Amino acid sequence: MSDERTDPSHNDDDNQGRLQQSTSVIEWITAACGAAFLITMVSYMIYAGSVELDGPPVIKFTTSAPIHQGDSFLLPFTAFNAGTTTATDLTIQVRLINGTTELEVREVTIDYLPTQSNRSGAFYFTHDPAKYKISIIPTSYLDP
């Protein structure tokens, strides 16, 4: 009777069976996906840390053709935040100017304007904005 614990041929078969087991294709694919994800996240963190994200909002405006509505004129506008930070309580002022005379001043507040996004609205005037110079400026904002 042979004792399996002392039989050298039996131990070689077990060891050889363990050595012949290899990593499956699924495990290699999973490892490659994990490594790619890790490299992507580390690269993004390095990029995000090197880019200045603390600048003020950069607000740009566009207007559309005025719309005549009864006794008033509606001037549609779009405000776009091209900056790297969000603006809250953004106040916008528009002026109708005839030469050196300021005819009308209107103001609107946009509650929330995230970075790289836009909001649209309109100003009401009694004078036709198409006939005068239009000045649109942001006057204030709050940090979120």
Segment 75-98, tens digit of pLDDT:
999 999 998 889 999 999 999 999
- Percentage of the chain beyond pLDDT 90 is 68
Segment 16-66, tens digit of pLDDT:
555 557 888 898 899 999 999 999 999 888 877 766 667 889 999 999 999
Residue carrying structure tokens 């100003």? 123
* pLDDT at 124 > cutoff 80: yes
Q: Could you tell me if residue 99 is left (phi over 0), alpha (psi between -120 and 50 degrees) or otherwise beta?
A: left
Kindly report the pTM of this predicted structure: 0.63
* 126 half-sphere exposure, CB direction, 13 A CA radius: 3
